[in-house]
Amino acid sequence: MKIKNRLISAVSGLSMAATLLPINANAQKNPDIESKINALMGKMSLDEKVGQTAEMAIDIIGNWQGDEFVVDQAKLQKVIGQYKVGSILNAPGKALTPQNWYKVISAIQELSMKTMGIPCVYGLDQNHGTTYTLGGTIFPQNINMAASFNRDLVHKAAEVTAYETRAANCPWTYSPTVDLSRDPRWPRMWENYGEDCFLSAEMCRAAVMGFQGTDKNNIGSRHVAVSLKHYLGYGSPRTGKDRTPAYIPEFEIREKHLAPFKAGVEAGALSVMVNSASVNGVPVHMSKHYLTDVLKKELGFDGVVVTDWADINNLYTREMVAKDKKDAIIKAINAGIDMTMEPYDLTYCTLLKEAVNEGKVPMARLDDAVRRVLRMKFRLGLFDTPNTKMKDYPKFGAKEYAQLSEDAAVETQVLLKNEENILPLKQGLKILVTGPNANTMRPLDGGWTYTWQGDADNFAQSKNTIFEALQQRFGKNNVIYEPGVTYKMSGKYWEENTPEIEKAVQAAAQADIILACVGENSYCETPGNLNDLALSDNQRNLVRALAKTGKKIVLILNLGRPRIIADIEPLASAVVNTLIPGEHGADALARLLAGDDNFSARLPYTYPRYSAALTTYDYRVSEESGTMEGAYDYNALIDVQWPFGYSKSYTTFSYGDLKTDKTDFGLNDNITVSIDVTNTGKREGKVSVLLFSRDQHASLVPEVRRLRAFTKINLKPGETQTVSQTIKARDLAFVGTDDMWHLEEGKFMLQIEDKIAWINCTQDYTWK
């Protein structure tokens, strides 16, 4: 029996909940703040101005004494008192308690206010929760949050992270990461929101508003400043390796790679961090075109442009575009850098001062950089309240936050295969849990968790591994653990111990079903580079050997990027991709495998079938062609393991006719698309309704399809909802090789699942 027609709407892809948020992020500069900046600038010495553009690492001001990091007052006096440094960052190798953070940051603030009357701004990589503060809440990584296709989930997680970060006296986070992950070889794929620019832009907007609130001029003590990273084109390196050059057509940069940053700027982001590498031969750290002309002028960004770690140095040590450090500083500052993450060399201040005195960096450029840094500090309220105290944040580490993280992990793991409905697992089954990811927290949490490389096993002993979570849910006597393959935890992320596959095979004799937990150990940035996209030989051999036992296999993937599994996927009756679900990810997985909850996530990237056949879902139509007759017999058919947006569920959904409110449209029109979605199964379930478009003909080879809107709904068995999504006609445009936007006369196909509607643009439009 159908429960008919509860209307769910989305405007330009925004959920109803998101559209209700009061947005004041694009407000003009606050006159009162600007007046205070003017007054302060008139009193500042050149040393103080230079110091405001410098950011140093915490290691330079203190050291560990037992279990506590302690500020060395003599070192602090040199950094703050002598060099007037305006910002400190990072954790000293590992996470601190909130109390330790308060001691460290308040000591910095006390001297900074006493010396200059200007507060320091401290920054941490709280990249997927309160990752550098012990006792805080760890959420699934960004790639998981993208898989949820749920903006509200991203917003709530960012709010909690901001609250807990301020509880530890830190006002700034280097998050969200919004590079487009267009190459599965890239080791930072999991830090981002997937391969699609619209999905990334929507999640970026939700995250910024969760972190900062709705008024960029008044961030408040429950929110933190964000840093959008890494501007621009970082996620598409030609080699697939971290911090290596990208070569991207300008039209693709403007149309796709810029989109998430544009969304973040429009949402009020207070800072932007720069791509470590080069784009089209020019290091972004010295690109006046991207930093000043595009970001600051075209997008109207009035916040701080900060370098990534030591990247001004790389202009002369790696990129070879500057003759020495001073030359590198001049090029970067003049290009538009406002704050330099040095992080250890105080001669930066001396060299920049020399460059200003010599006229090689104009005073106007330095003043602009300083104004931006001061503006962020005023917007954060640091002049009035340099410190925030733990006692004012009683919900730090609250159980409800942990529950939110677990619920998020439920909503971000993807069911990819389920033959003969082998899942949910039946109660009473004897389960063998095997594989290197079965009994360790590291791959569940991933990098940027407690330490840079994610050494979670030393910090998250109270949380459940997959094996432990399954024992709790299915009973200790029903769950057997024999790994067969294990990681060498003291080695590099890809190193494994000598396999003991036969032990796992023998253990399988006692089991009714096998859960093979395979994937990657934790890694971060350049140490996560790889030379082979295939899953390791040991892990694939483990699955092959287990398949010979005749027992059914459920493949549990736990990885930061899609590793090739084409040879072992047919051996599994079911496949679940957990991605990197965080500290509560194993508990969430147990809920899903038991059927307590339903799968609802979708793949946020294209999962390749072959190492030499890498693509994204929005490839251009001419990339897929049949066999050519005659002498040139070639085949360019696109063949992937699973496409972007793919998912399965414990229930089924059907879709009615796709309807539009108009068949002809012009540039300034909005197009409303509606469709009835029905739960035709026997279980309640959530589903993300994805709206794609395709330009039938264009002056630039069109893409096969582009995501234009998404709305997540929950349906009870037999329930029908009408989902209505509104897109702007101008969003169907593309950037041409002339760097202009083009919306051209002709037909466009709109598609949701297998339902199609056609609309027609009545004339050509071109604009800057």
Residues marked active site are found at 308
In whole angstroms, what is the distance from residue 229 CA to residue 240 CA?
18
Which helix (H) or strand (E) segment holds residue 688: the answer is strand 685-695
Three-state DSSP at 565 gives: coil
Query: What tokens were used for 225?
Result: 């400043």
As separate numbers, helices (DSSP H) first and strands (DSSP E) second, the chain gives 21, 33
Task: Count CA atoms within 13 Å of residue 92 on its CB side.
Answer: 19
The closest of 589, 642, 653 to 425, measured between CA atoms, is: 589
Going by DSSP bridges, is the β-strand pair 719-728/3-11 parallel, antiparallel, or unpaired?
A: parallel
- 192 touches 186 (CB < 8 A): no
In whole angstroms, what is the distance from residue 751 CA to residue 693 CA?
6
Query: What tokens were used for 712?
Result: 């997540």
Query: What tokens were used for 333?
Result: 């500052």
Query: What tokens were used for 197?
Result: 């620019």
DSSP strands (E only) in 74-114: 87-89
In whole angstroms, what is the distance from residue 215 CA to residue 213 CA?
6
Angle CA 242–293–197, to nearest 5: 50
Query: What tokens were used for 528?
Result: 């996560």
Q: Give burial (CB, 10 Å; 0-12/13-18/19+) of 365.
A: middle
The closest of 230, 56, 172, 125 to 449, measured between CA atoms, is: 125
What lies within 8 Å, CB to CB, of 288 at 6+ separation is: 334, 335, 336
- 71 touches 39 (CB < 8 A): no
Which helix (H) or strand (E) segment holds residue 229: the answer is strand 227-231
Dihedral angle of Cα 320, 325, 331, 334, to the nearest 10 degrees: 160
Q: Is the peptide bond before 230 cis (omega within 30 degrees of 0)?
A: yes
